[in-house]
Structure formats: C-alpha cells, structure tokens
Amino acid sequence: MPTTIKAQGLTRKFADNIAVNGLNLEIEEGEIFGLVGPDGAGKTTTMRLLTGILEPTSGDGWVYGKHIVQESEELKENIAYMSQRFGLYEELTVLENINFYADVFCVPKNKRQEVIEKLLGFSGLLPFKQRLAGKLSGGMKQKLGLSCALIHTPKVLFLDEPTNGVDPVSRRDFWSILYDLLKDKVTILYSTSYLDEAERCRRVGLIHKGRLLRCDTPDNIKKEINVNTLEQAFIKIVNDYESKHAK
Ligand SMILES: Nc1ncnc2c1ncn2[C@@H]1O[C@H](COP(=O)(O)OP(=O)(O)OP(=O)(O)O)[C@@H](O)[C@H]1O
Ligand SMILES: [Mg+2]
C-alpha cells in the first residue's frame, strides 16, 4: 500500500511552547488512523500542519504526494478537513449549506445533484433537506459537516474530534459513513478522545505534550502494556512518561 500521509520530524513551536515535537508518522492509503491524546496534546496542531494551514517550525510532511509547505495549495485539492469547530451556516438550510460548500470547491453544477443526493442519503439527512442547520440536533450537525467536507470527493480526510458531544447512536451512524469511505480507499486521520472510537481505527497514535508516545494497532498496544483496554494502556504510558520526565 502506498504511503498517503507522511511526517518527518514535524515540529511546531508557539513561543517557547512546543505544540508538536519531532513527529514521525506514515499512514497508508485506505487506512483509518486514530490520533488520541489529552487536551492540549497537539492533535489539532498536527492536523493544521498536515493540511497546510499552519507552517512547521521544522520538519517535513507530505499528503498524497504533496509537500505541506511548498505545495500547500495543490495539497488542498486532495483533502478535506473537518475542524474541531466546523463552520455550518445556522441560518441556511441543510441543502443551502451543502450547495455553499459545492460552490467553494467548484463542484461542477451538472455533477452536483448526484453527489449531494448520495451524501445526504448516506448521512440520513434527505428528509431534513429544508431544515435550518441551526435547528438540527448535535449529531445531525456533525453528519452535515461531514457531508459538506466530502462534497469534492477528497482522497484524504482529516477529522478533528468530529463526534465530540454526539450521542452513541449518531456516532455509530457516523462510523458507518466512514467505513463506506474506506472501501473507496479514502485515507482518514481521525482525532478523538473516545477510546471506543480509537479501538475502531486500524492503528492509533498516542500523543502527549506534542510527542507521539506510541503508534501501533490497538491490539498490539494492549498486548505490549499487558492490559485489557486502551484506556488502561494509555494511562500507563502517559504516567510512565511523566515519571521519567519529572526530574
Ligand atoms: N495558535 C496558537 N498560539 C499559541 N499556542 C497554541 C496555538 N495553537 C495551539 N497552541 C498550544 O499548543 C498546544 C497544543 O494545542 P492543540 O490545540 O494542538 O491540542 P489538542 O490536542 O488539539 O487539544 P484539545 O483536545 O483541547 O483540542 C497547547 O498547549 C495549545 O495551548
Ligand atoms: Mg484540538
């Protein structure tokens, strides 16, 4: 499988705070990779670096063959980024929101209808086409956000805590949409603070204080730490790191 996302020594400082510290990562095409870590760990900064929104202090990265600094404009053609506070227009309807993103991404008018019907179909939003986005439930809003992000059929998807605060049923719907995308070889970088979601990823990276402390399949991480749950594994890994660096 070709590598779709690659980071090499990726580092970003804000004054003397190192938000991302020497990140090395390779994510394969068609893989869903979970980025997990406590508040302020560096998840959003990693996403912003890899989507070419923020420049690194040092290090390199490539997404779908495009360099994150030198080719940041070309890179954006292949990706979608659903940020932690994804912008929907609350006073526009579901359909108007999705059409707005279709305009932004220059989706040809003759192809638009088919893509919109498909996206609203698999996110279960067809019956709510005319509803104002501001009147949707939290889970529906996130599904609409995902539909907007997918309007230009991206090859790589960056999702920053997309199901935060969403009920378990809507989270399950959201994941079934993601599994469909994986069948089409879309590559997904998914940050989450829910460890049941991390379990569903093919591999997981545990990030803490800007450092990638572990990167492996959920099963391998649990085996290595000799515990039953990812939660126990992550607590142990973070505690070990803290006691080593306390001096
Ligand atoms: N624009 C900025 N200016 C200054 N510091 C920043 C900026 N963006 C992030 N930081 C700092 O970088 C560190 C990493 O933040 P980041 O937002 O990447 O964490 P996160 O893992 O996404 O956290 P959360 O789970 O709360 O979303 C934090 O210490 C944060 O305060
Ligand atoms: Mg964040």
Q: CA 159 → CA 51, 96, 171, 238, distances in Å?
A: 11, 22, 13, 24
What is d(CA 19, CA 144) in angstroms, rounded to the nearest whole number?
30
Which amino acid residue places its CA nearest to atom 1 of ligand 1? 14
In DSSP terms, which residues pair with 20 in a beta bridge? 12
Closest CA to 84 of 163, 12, 20: 163
SS3 142: helix
Nearest CA to ligand 1 atom 5: 14
Pocket, ligand 1, Cβ cutoff 6 A: 14, 17, 19, 37, 39-45, 84
pLDDT tens, position by position, 160-202? 999 887 888 888 888 988 998 899 999 999 999 889 999 999 9
CA of 197 to the centre of ligand 2 (A): 16
Query: Considering every ligand atom, which ligand is closest to the CA of 42?
Result: 1
Picking from 40-49, 105-114, 222-231, 234-243, which range would have the lowest pLDDT averaged per residue? 105-114
Indicate the domain borders of the chain.
Answer: 3-84+154-244
175's enclosing H/E stretch is: helix 168-183
Residue 47, Ramachandran bin (φ over 0: left; ψ between -120 and 50: alpha; else beta)? alpha
From atom 25 of ligand 1, which residue's Cα is the shortest distance away? 39
pTM to 2 decimal places = 0.93
Ligand 1 atom closest to the CA of 210, numbered from 1? 14
The 10s digit of each residue's pLDDT in 17-62 is 999 999 999 999 999 999 999 999 999 999 999 999 999 999 999 9
Superfamily of domain covering 3-84+154-244: P-loop containing nucleotide triphosphate hydrolases (3.40.50.300)
